[in-house]
Structure 1
Amino acid sequence: MKQAIIGIFIAWIAFSCDKPKQEQETVGYSLQGDTIFIPPNSAFKAKLKTALVQKEPYHWQMLSPGTVKVIPTQYAEIASPFAGRLTRSYLRLGMKTTPETPLFEISSPDFMAAQKVFFQEKSQLEQARKTLKRQKDLLDNGVGTQKDFEEAQTAYEIEKTEYNNAATGIKLFKADPDKMVLGQPLVVRSPIAGEVIENKAVLGQFIKDDASSIATIAELSKIWIAGQIKEKDLRFIHKLDECHIEMAAFPEKIIKAKVFHIDEIVDEETRSVRVLIEAGNADHTLKPGMYVTVNFTDKPVNLILIPSKAIFQMSDASFVFVKVAENKYLKRKIEIADTQENKIVVKSGLEAGETIITEGGFLLSGAK
């Protein structure tokens, strides 16, 4: 019995000696308001690591879905200007074009009528020119009258205007009036440099004057990407800002681009603004209609960034432990602006030059 009592007494002494040591590790600080005092002999003081708060270059980033679009001035849907029958086609998918490249030929009664008007005006202009020359010769030789000469001159000017109008009507269809032969088919030419991306021409088909396009030509070495920016983020986007394009089809490829235009109107339903981004596309990786991700990156600014491990959450607030003196720390609320990998961008609550706990702060996080 005596031995049992001695054993219990020894165990109680061992427990009593060990307990203060444990309490020293877990409750080795005192609290006054939001200020925490850590005794110099605190067992977990060595577990705390601190760092000086500094400003670092920070690139603001935002991701936006985008849709690849053809630049309107580099896109043309080709239709026949007149009703007629398609008699010849030069079209091939992928064919390179210039503004003078012939695409197809149309035999058209309307174009034939335009030719007749042109040749009629050409003939009348020549007749008016001869009449004017004859009246001038008569006047120079004292046979003609000034009145007849002036009337011939007026008639010539009228016919010249009518001829020019008829010639302009022919030139609108990229036909050369000086080389035109009555009855020749209308040659429809490409209005832009690019390549044929759609061909619906069928030899012998009759094309109505209100028919849809026969071919589509586009220049795809540069394209636009339409992205959406929330109204609240507009201050971060500027014309000519650089951004990067990412594609699900080619995840390993990143394409550099620049902001080309920012719309002036906010979409009332989505509260966003359309942003057009221009990107080089020499290898045609970006296809019109493709969905991509636009990574907007603002110019670098110096902001306060701290390790994410230094921040603690309580209710709806974020806070850090700021060293205000030796063995003295202040629990301070901060406002977070953004996150970047394992760092946090601090909007307010900290100043450069202050020292904070970066590791081991969880030992103090229960302080209330």
Structure 2
Amino acid sequence: MKHILALFYGTLLLASCTQSTSRAPVSSCELHGDTVIVYPQSGLAKKIHVDTITTQLLRQQMPAVGLVKLIPNKFAEIAPTFSGRIIAAYLKLGMNVTPGTPLFAMSSPDFITAQKAFFQAKEQLLLAEKKLARQRNLVANGVGIQRELEEAQMNYDVEKKEYESARLSIRLFKANPDELILGQPLIIYAPIAGEVVENKVVVGQLIKNDGASVAAVAELSKVWVAGHVKEKDMGAIRQLSQSQITIAALPGKIIQGTIFHINELIEESSRSVEVLMECENADHILKPGMYVNVNFENTPQPTVLIAPKALLQQSNTSFVFRQIAAGRYVRQQVETNGVLGNKVVVKSGLSKNDTIISDGAYYLLDAR
């Protein structure tokens, strides 16, 4: 009986060894340097799927916070450079004006002094002109003295210069010397076309010549939006021409901005550069001082998109397996730039018509 059992267990052990040897795993791939070779008839080859890369025209988007600003040459503060008292006001907030529109009138001692000097110089010039004409007539008739004629000519030239200087003084007050009336008030006019956005004018108010503004006019049909782009994105911003601006208070409203200036200086605190955009603002939605959202977009560029499963990471490095021949794959380091839909945007490392493993790449990580 014992001999029979021993023979049975021996047969069973031999069968077990034979079966184990027939199921021993066969290597599906091997590593040669940086190249992984996958055997075509292996089970691993059936788990790998490859795709040939194509490019799509995409716009790179960079969101930023923007600040609405007035365009400098479309904004003017009204600050009279002469002292006086306001005797009449013609302006009101929101009033549309053009260059030369009267805003208010002042009784200005400086203007009155200039008027007196002008009329005195005008009178002296007329007297000098009459005297010169008389001396010329006397000399022409042989009864005049040449020296007196020369003195009359010299006096006329001096008085004429004084008169021209007085005329210029009147024009400094934005008044017309040819229509001037002695004692008339000083009229302050709008220097630009636009809308009165600030009004501190009060009749009876005493204004000093200290440069303090009493009113402001702004042309708001166009405004600037100042956005800031990070230093790392400066290479792309050079290609930008348009931007989209949205306002939190008006969901769905999109305003187009045209980039016309990129600051040459970087703000050290934020490591960003200021980008100025000009925006149409006929409906005055954009208010100076308002914060808005800016979405910078560059011109469409051919962009490589890959499946997320194709991208692998190891030691803080992103890479894919690129096919260099049938069944041969090499690690290709790539730089990504975010996600678009269900695809990963590749910034560098891959080109159009490259073939990569789109699914199953992780099986190759343990290749020996």
TM-score, normalization by structure 2: 0.83
Distance 1:123 1:296 in 2: 67
CA 1:275–1:151: 2 relative to 1, 3 Å: farther
Query: Hey, what does 2:301 align to over in structure 1?
Result: 301
Distance 2:196 2:89 in 1: 13
CA 1:348–1:195: 2 relative to 1, 3 Å: closer
CA 1:366–1:190: 2 relative to 1, 3 Å: farther
Does the 8 Å CA contact 1:336/1:344 hold for their aligned counterparts?
no
Distance 2:240 2:76 in 1: 27
Distance 1:138 1:309 in 2: 112
Q: Deviations 1:118-153 (Å, cap 9, x if unpaired)?
A: 111111122222222222222222222333223222
Q: Which has the larger radius of gyration?
A: 2
SS at match of 2:267: coil
CA 1:284–1:158: 2 relative to 1, 3 Å: same
CA 1:239–1:324: 2 relative to 1, 3 Å: closer
Structure 2 unaligned regions, length at least 5 = 1-15
Distance 2:293 2:27 in 1: 51
Aligned letter for 1:104? F
Percent of counterpart pairs with the same letter? 48
TM-score, normalization by structure 1: 0.83
Distance 2:65 2:146 in 1: 77
Does the 8 Å CA contact 1:334/1:347 hold for their aligned counterparts?
no
Does the 8 Å CA contact 1:81/1:209 hold for their aligned counterparts?
yes
Q: Deviations 1:1-51 (Å, cap 9, x if unpaired)?
A: xxxxxxxxxxxx9xx9xxx8xx99xx9943425515265463883x65432
Query: Hey, what does 1:96 align to over in structure 2?
Result: 96
Query: Hey, what does 2:332 align to over in structure 1?
Result: 333
Q: Deviations 1:41-81 (Å, cap 9, x if unpaired)?
A: 63883x65432112333433322322111111111111222
Distance 1:182 1:308 in 2: 85
1:110 aligned onto 2:110: yes
Runs of 4+ that moved beyond 4 A: 360-368
Aligned letter for 2:112? M
Query: Hey, what does 1:155 align to over in structure 2?
Result: 155
Further displaced range: 282-291 or 356-365: 356-365
SS at match of 1:252: strand
Does the 8 Å CA contact 1:61/1:295 hold for their aligned counterparts?
yes
Distance 1:179 1:61 in 2: 61
CA 1:325–1:127: 2 relative to 1, 3 Å: same
**1:367 deviation in Å?**
5.7
CA 1:169–1:367: 2 relative to 1, 3 Å: farther
Distance 1:49 1:250 in 2: 47
Distance 1:169 1:238 in 2: 50
Further displaced range: 114-123 or 129-138: 129-138
